[in-house]
Amino acid sequence: MKKIKLQFEKNYVIEVNSGINCHEVVKNYSLEKDIPVVLARVNGKLCELSSIIEEDSTFSIVDIKDKFGMMTYIRTLQFVLIKSTLELFKDAQITIGHSLSKGLFGEIYKKSKLDIDDIYLIKEKMKEIIEKDIKINKKCFQKEEAI
């Protein structure tokens, strides 16, 4: 298998197999932190952790202290919220609106009024999904295909 070089900050260089994904680099080379690593920068370009690296590159991690890292983290939590809610309440409709200060405004509509017990169930289901560490696969479509 072809070997490539990844250069980290401070000119630290490692040699890896071509075709490695960013997540493997983070896991295998102790780049994990106490706060979530959500993206990578490969040759200065933001990349999902599932992105494949096939050539010599510069590499750095992006965590939630980074503006783009936090945006990615919030978007992922939105998906987890939607999945959790729909697993619990099949008839629910969820809207995610605009940001408010350091949060987001969203609404959940269902046949019966949402109450504190429902919110607790959603929170626990979100924790369960997060603990399963389910991979999120991004799929891109042309607008016409998606409609």
Question: At residue 113, what are phi and psi to the nearest 5 degrees?
Answer: -65, 135
Check whether residue 80 and residue 59 sit in a common domain: no
Please state, in angstroms and as integers, the Cα–Cα distance from residue 107 to each residue in 16, 24, 129, following that order: 46, 37, 20
Q: What is the mean pLDDT of residues 20-39?
A: 87
Domain count, the chain: 2
Instruction: Confirm whether 144 is domain-assigned.
Output: no
Check whether residue 76 and residue 126 sit in a common domain: yes
Tell me what pLDDT residue 108 has.
95
Q: How confident is the model at residue 7 (pLDDT cuts 50, 70, 90)?
A: very high
Q: CATH number, domain at 48?
A: 3.10.20.30
Question: At residue 28, what are phi and psi to the nearest 5 degrees?
Answer: -75, -20
Instruction: Confirm whether 142 is domain-assigned.
Output: no
Percent of all residues in the chain with a pLDDT value above 90, rounded to a whole number: 71
Check whether residue 32 and residue 20 sit in a common domain: yes
Check whether residue 72 and residue 98 sit in a common domain: yes
Cβ contact 83:77 at 8 Å: no
Structure token digits, residue 82: 């939607």
Percent of all residues in the chain with a pLDDT value above 70, rounded to a whole number: 100
- For 73, the 3-state DSSP assignment is helix
Average pLDDT, the chain: 91
Q: What is the mean pLDDT of residues 33-38?
A: 87
For residue 21, give its domain range: 3-64
